[in-house]
Chain A
């Protein structure tokens, strides 16, 4: 029986209030042993008991319990309906029992039962323990809810706090899986199949992607490339490229190979430039391992815009869409006010651009290399050239390349020329250059290179292209042996030696021979080379507009360009030296040019060589040329000339005689650079002596002219006239060049050449003579007055031009005349133009001539009248006229304007109406016009720092702290002074005691000074004594109604300070008082506002403290009663105290209630 009895806890509810524990115990003891009765009464807020219930611990058998329930449940007992239920075990009991159990278990485990488990290496997890009990022997393992043993987790929080996760405190989410788990569908069956045919869409839907799509990244890349117009990038997989870009030109593949070296270089160069480039590289390399270099560098990025696009695209890809691209569904939906952060990107691209520009130039180089054939894209080349000019870095590199390889390359080029076929026109130009270089192999190559560089800058695009081609050539032909070079050099050496022996022209011819002997088809080559420049020049000449255009800029520009010309001149000059001597028949202009050329070339050669024998040769040459030159203008000794020609022809083997003529226009510029003008002049003068011509004097004059000309030209004077003259000269030359070009074809056979040349020369001579006759006739008619001279002289020779003008001025008149004559004769063809210019001075003269109508007295009178006409008062324009007119006009204009404005306004209104009708919503909005812009600009305010009303948008940082500092300081000072001031008050209050306390006050002031000086600590010390004083003075401390009790000494004191003023105003205190007020540097204004009430507040303190000052009922204090509610303050305080007490009580009560409420639970 007893065993069946269980300790149960019963809940007995619905008890009457009078029920006691004993009653319950007696009542329930019928059924079992009642061990404990606990009666609990629930009370409401007022403390009235609402519920009374009890917990009864009872040991009872089941049957008894049932009986008990059936008997007692729902029965009325002592004013309540009993409700009996089984209750949970009391926690105390439970705790005790658990402890016991735990102890028992421990003992058990120690004894044996758990030993088994431990032996088996297992833990008995099936503990009946209450949740929260620790698993014995395992730290941090806890019985969780539902009886599982789980570890206590120590998690790290974001805030660096450790979170302890105790599984016993939380319900975990473990759930038992139902039995139907076995019926689960296999995973393979889970994916449902989409219906659809074989079309790609359905396939894609099914997740089958053709390998075209399989690597989405690459696809994107390809797309990107497509989008970039360049689209030259090479994919890592060419097959895909072909698929994607069927139009990828094969050029790329071909170009790629030559580009590669460049691209390899490129990363090194940009290193210094910018990191951005690197980054680009890195990025791309990250994306594509193999192809990226090519893709970036070799993409012939024509324009920076495209580059920018490229980069932006790439960055975009990286930044945003790499992840999203794979999924097609990845578009986002944004709100209307969406704004993306593009600025960053832009800036990035901007950075990138710079770097890429470097690439550009390099790309250009690469292209140049690529375009070996040279005939592909002229336009492209030109573009490149332009770019080269733009990018500063690139030309330098180029130059350096030139300088490095100039010697070798050119010679090699030369060799290659001989070995290979004739190149195209541009290359030919370059070849000619190189040819020249070869023959001047001993020249300092730096010069030539510099000249070439200058060429590259100044010359036309064609020549540049040629140069580029040549560069490429050079690069290609780097393999040539040094032996060849040496051979060439030897030949060159030979040539000058021969020169010294035989004569100027021989040297050149021998050079030619030597070169020919070296080359297989040298003669042909040379001829062709000659042809091409000639052609170019011819084309230049033909395009009369072109030539001035081209030459003018050249001349207008710097010395560099002159150097360039010099280079060109050298180019041509060499050949003329060889062959040109025959062709003196050409016009005097041409001859002169040639002479200058000839002179310059050898001299320059000699100069650059720096060898004595070369000088000798040059000297030899120059006399010869000089003689010829002297002959030419004269045209008196054609036979001689012919003779010389013949000799030259015999000796000279190079057939192309005509080139020289063509070259002349260019070579005419050479004298500018000529470094031996003086020598030339001297030589010519010598020749002049030798000559038999009747115009000997004229010649000398010319020579003398030439000298200054040349010298003056040494200074880079550039003038359009000059160029014009040149062009004119070239015009005259042109026919000859044409003739000569016809001769060109028969170069190989000397005999034929010579014959033809002779015939041509004769023909030319005849033509010349005819011309000369014409000139003579024309000259004979002209009685040139001295004033006309300068104009005439301008038409002289190409080379002389302006210098003539200047030189003529400088020189004597005597010289000028013959000069003029000579020049005029020489330039027969220019005569027409000269006549045009002649008219100008005549006009000038006519201007100053008295007009026929003014001749005579009548005429004079007329003139007077006319001169007077303007000043006559009658014809004076009055302001009246002006005003009336202007007013009318103004009115008109105004009317027009107003009408226009009205029209526009009307139109606008109409448009707005239509807008309203269309939108149908914004009727109200558009009704007020101003509201629209206001609305528009409401959100975005353009901050204008110059506007004053925008100042409130500014942040004032500095002012506030400063102010606060000042305030603080002031406050501190106030605080320091306050006690002193309050003391003063006593003495100041009454006028009578003024004198008595005068001295004391002074002393106080003296005290004051140290207070002010001392810092805060002292100030506090001052306060501390001050406060007790105040307290002493205020026995009735509760006079302050709004400060509950004594809050802050400082505050009180501040108010105390203010008391000074009311007292003064009230009682008309003496001016001395003002000193004290001023002493405490202007107590702030706000205090003045408040002064009335606190002032009175302080008064009672005085009254109480210094009673003897006032009688008990001072009439002065009577009025203040109105303001001062000292008694009222007491009353209010009492009421306040009462209220606070009430409140406190209430608070306590509530607190207790809350406590009570919490307690049972």
Chain B
């Protein structure tokens, strides 16, 4: 468990900023306490100061996880967000996509969102913008990347992919072992 290096922090923040933009500040600089990012087993955890202290009592090799796992660094030192970060991405998300109830399951099984399943989208979403996917009942289901801009979404045919799937809450079941 160690703090992130500057490079790592940059990579991670760049990734997160795709989803929440300048709201990233709110994660770093929280009014309700000190929170920090810690790297452990190639995973980045978002930990409150309190828990950090508690976790210091546990040997590094025995520590499975602490705080909230935001994602992990791949071998190539890219950062990949985990679905566990959704709790922090969803409230701050700038660009959102709501999917129809019929398409929910498909998305939760790891499929991309087709235009036919697109219920609602934030205006002026640009292409390849990170978006948080909600159900029509405003339950955050996951996040992805907009495959088309909002304007393009109007034109494309109904079976075209609108949002590329990145993570969904179905992973809590499907990838239970890798989510820590």
A: residues with CB less than 8 A from B are: 201, 204-205, 219-220, 223-224, 226-227, 312-313, 316-317, 320-321, 324-325, 328-329, 331-336, 338, 340, 342, 345-346, 900-901, 904-905, 907-908, 910-912, 914-915, 917-919, 921-922, 925-926, 929, 932-933, 936-937
Contact = CB atoms under 8 A, between A and B. Distances in A.
A329 B154 contact: yes
A912 B25 contact: yes
A904 B120 contact: no
A333 B159 CA distance: 18
Given A342-B137, A917-B10, A918-B13, A226 B105 contact: yes
Q: Which 5 A-B pairs have the closest CB atoms?
A: A227-B105, A328-B158, A933-B31, A223-B102, A331-B118
A918 B14 contact: yes
Interface residues of B, number: 50
B28 to A, nearest CB: 5
Contacts of A346: 137
Given A224-B102, A227-B102, 18 more contacts: A223-B101, A223-B105, A316-B136, A325-B100, A328-B158, A331-B118, A334-B96, A338-B120, A340-B98, A342-B138, A904-B49, A908-B34, A914-B10, A918-B24, A932-B25, A933-B30, A933-B31, A936-B26
A911 B70 CA distance: 15
B174 to A, nearest CB: 13
B123 A313 contact: no
B17 interface: yes
Contacts of A329: 115, 154, 158
B127 interface: no
Interface string B70-113: 00000000000000000000000011101011111100100000
Given A201-B157, A908-B29, A922 B116 contact: no
A226 B109 CA distance: 11
Nearest to B35: A908
A321 B120 CA distance: 11
Contacts of B37: 911
B6 interface: yes
A918 B136 CA distance: 32
B101 A316 contact: yes
Interface in B140-174: 150, 153-154, 157-159
A444 B122 CA distance: 72
A1145 B36 CA distance: 80
Contacts, number: 144
A921 B22 CA distance: 8
A919 B6 contact: no
A321 B96 contact: no
A620 B34 CA distance: 83
Contacts of B60: none
B70 to A, nearest CB: 13
A995 B175 CA distance: 105
B17 A919 contact: yes
A220 B103 CA distance: 9
Contacts of B3: 907
A195 to B, nearest CB: 14
B105 A332 contact: no
B66 interface: no
Interface of B: 3, 6, 9-10, 13-14, 17, 21-22, 24-26, 28-31, 34, 36-37, 49, 53, 94-96, 98, 100-105, 108, 115-116, 118-123, 135-138, 150, 153-154, 157-159
B34 A325 contact: no
B24 A915 contact: yes
Contacts of A332: 119-121
A346 B37 CA distance: 34
Given A312-B137, A904-B34, A918-B17, A911 B121 contact: no
Contact of B122 (A201, A338, A901, A908): A338
A399 B30 CA distance: 57
A27 B6 CA distance: 104
A204 B157 CA distance: 10
Nearest to A933: B31
A224 B101 contact: yes
25 contacts: A220-B101, A227-B104, A316-B101, A316-B137, A321-B119, A325-B102, A331-B120, A335-B123, A340-B136, A345-B137, A907-B36, A910-B9, A914-B10, A914-B13, A915-B25, A917-B10, A918-B24, A919-B24, A919-B25, A925-B25, A926-B29, A932-B25, A932-B31, A933-B29, A936-B26
A201 B29 contact: no
A933 to B, nearest CB: 4
Contacts of A324: 100, 119
Given A331-B115, A342-B138, A936-B26, A911 B120 contact: no
Nearest to A937: B31
A932 B29 contact: yes
A324 B136 CA distance: 13
A933 B101 CA distance: 36
B138 A915 contact: no
A542 B150 CA distance: 68
Contacts of A205: 157
Contacts of B96: 334, 338
B93 to A, nearest CB: 10
A774 B98 CA distance: 80
Contacts of A933: 26, 29-31
A1007 to B, nearest CB: 69
A911 B21 CA distance: 15
A420 B115 CA distance: 60
Contacts of B104: 227, 313
A926 B36 contact: no
A554 B151 CA distance: 68
B36 A904 contact: yes
B138 A336 contact: no
B26 A932 contact: yes
Given A316-B101, A929-B29, A933-B31, A333 B157 contact: no
A183 B119 CA distance: 43
A922 B137 contact: no
A904 B103 CA distance: 43
